[in-house]
Amino acid sequence: MNDMENKELFGSEENNTQGETAQAADQPPVSPENAVPRSSQYQYQPPASRPAPPAYGAAPTQTPYGGYSFGQQPADGGAQTPPPSTPPGNQWNFPEYGAPSPKKPTEKKKGSGLKIFAGILGALLGVAVLSFAVFGIYSLMMPQQNIIDAPQSQPSGETSANENVPELETNSKPSDNTVSTDGTLTTAQINEKVAPSVVGIVQYQANYFEPTGEGSGIILSEDGYIATNAHVIENADSLEVVLSDGTTYKGTVVGYDSKTDLAVVKIDANGLTPAELGASGELKVGEKAIAIGNPGGLTYAGSVSEGIVSGLNRSLRAATDGYTMNFIQTDAAISPGNSGGALVNEFGQVIGINSQKLAADGYEGIGFAIPIDEALPILKDLMSYGRVTGRVKLGITAYAVNEYVASVNGIPSGILIDTIDADSTLLATDVQAGDIITQVEGTAVSSFTSLSDLLRDYSPGDQVTLTIFRASQSTGNSRYGYAYGGQTVQGSTFEVKVTLMEDTGATTSSNLQSNSTQGNVQNDQAA
């Protein structure tokens, strides 16, 4: 039942106490003589049989304790009289058995809630204390170096700076921009030194309003002599020379040599910056190599590419009608337009003139430069005479037959004559196309390089003895009657004496020659 029902059945706690006290005062004291059984002594009285509660404001009902009613406070200002002593037998005044005691539902519920809350709080505190105790024991047992202090957490939305972060800052380049102790330069220093000595060369032909070719050049002197490749100025009707600062001049061809693919151009200028020339004979494979020029023409003027010296003494023929030369191989990027530009060592010295590259499918990074040691005598002759002097030739075009090609064709190795020039002294002898020159003055020759090396020690007008092999009869379907398949060709050998001619190298070919070879037979070339 709810609280209202309790009040109707049992009355309020205060009224029940007063009624029970008054009833106890009317009854005689309980003694052993007049005691009755509890079952009859304590009879349940319904609320209707109980005395009515006093009216509101009435004087308190007298009680055995001198007018003090339990559950009531004394009147304001009234004295509280202690209860008189009573006989022991009448000390206790029990309520009737069966009368329900007053209940305080609200206070009881509050007490139970507090007890439950206190129990939960105590359990939590116990768990916390136990956890701290276990952690403390664990910390004492573990080695000190294994304990890592965790960073302190920061309130949400707040950050703190890490004081151990090093400071970062940018720095200007050192003002003392000197070379290294051994004199080598950085790539940037090399470019600063050499770039003013590299020019662009643009060629024009009659009836053309656009350039018909572009390349590079190297300033050789303060008064305007410039080295370049012969194929850069080939077939040009006019030349434009562009300096590194953009200044342009009209260029005039002083001389060119188609065999070595070298040329000299002159501009009317003074106070130019000539390049410092190095010694290509001192190069070693693996040294740094810098190519400076104009790949693609003036669009990419002054481009710098870096690589190494990949090889030395690479025997190749020049890009035009030239004869075989020894080239420097490099993996520095050499593209069309780089021709005639500078190949520079790590000291900023020009050690080669970029000339050609291997452009066949499947090849990358194989470029070639004319060694400055071989180019310099040619350039000096071109500057002084407009042509190469002192160089000799036989007046033929031919193929070089190396030992392998000779073995599979059953013929001796040497220089196989293809054609004979109209002014060659060989026409006065019995030599004809298809014959093979096997020796010059008793020394075997099997390549254009070996032939050039032998003839280099002679001057125009000197006579030399050639050893010639000629097949006795045609034994195959080849151009010269030599069978392919290893069958030995029968023939005869004889000697002839010829007078060497001067090779001016002043003629050029209308088509650039490929630097590639077919199989093991080198391309036909002049000798």
Catalytic positions, please? 231, 261, 339
CB 325 within 8 A of CB 448: no
End-to-end CA distance of the chain: 135
Bridge partners (DSSP) listed for residue 85: none
| Residue at token pair 């030349």 | 239
Ramachandran class of 390: left when φ > 0, alpha when ψ lies in -120 to 50, beta otherwise: left
Q: Identify residue 520 by its one-letter amino acid code.
A: N
| Pick from 216, 214, 227: nearest CA to 255 | 227
Task: Report d(CA 509, CA 45) in Å as an integer.
Answer: 148
Helix (H) or strand (E) run with residue 119 in it: helix 105-141
Largest pairwise CA distance in the chain: 185
Task: Please classify residue 495 by burial: count the beta carbons closer than 10 Å to its beta carbon, then call 0-12 exposed, 13-18 middle and 19+ buried.
Answer: exposed
CA angle 470, 476, 480 (to 5 degrees): 45
Task: Please classify residue 210 by burial: count the beta carbons closer than 10 Å to its beta carbon, then call 0-12 exposed, 13-18 middle and 19+ buried.
Answer: exposed
Bridge partners (DSSP) listed for residue 33: none
Strand, helix or coil at 193? Answer: helix
| Residue at token pair 């003013």 | 196
Task: Report d(CA 478, CA 409) in Å as an integer.
Answer: 10
CB-based contacts of 95: which residues, under 8 Å, 6+ apart? Answer: 20, 101
**Helices of type H across 213-371:** 230-233
Q: Identify residue 256 by its one-letter amino acid code.
A: Y
Helix (H) or strand (E) run with residue 140 in it: helix 105-141
CB atoms within 10 A of CB 152: 6
**Helices of type H across 348-474:** 372-385, 403-409, 448-455
- DSSP state at residue 237: S
Joined together, the tokens standing for residue 67 give 């007018």
**Beta-carbon-side half-sphere exposure of residue 57 (alpha carbons within 13 Å):** 0
Three-state SS annotation for 380-449: HHHHHHCCCCCCEECCEEEEEECHHHHHHHCCCCEEEEEEECCCCHHHHCCCCCCCEEEEECCEECCCHH
Task: Report d(CA 55, CA 350) in Å as an integer.
Answer: 133
Sign of the CA dihedral running 398, 402, 403, 409: negative
| Pick from 464, 328, 303, 492: nearest CA to 394 | 464
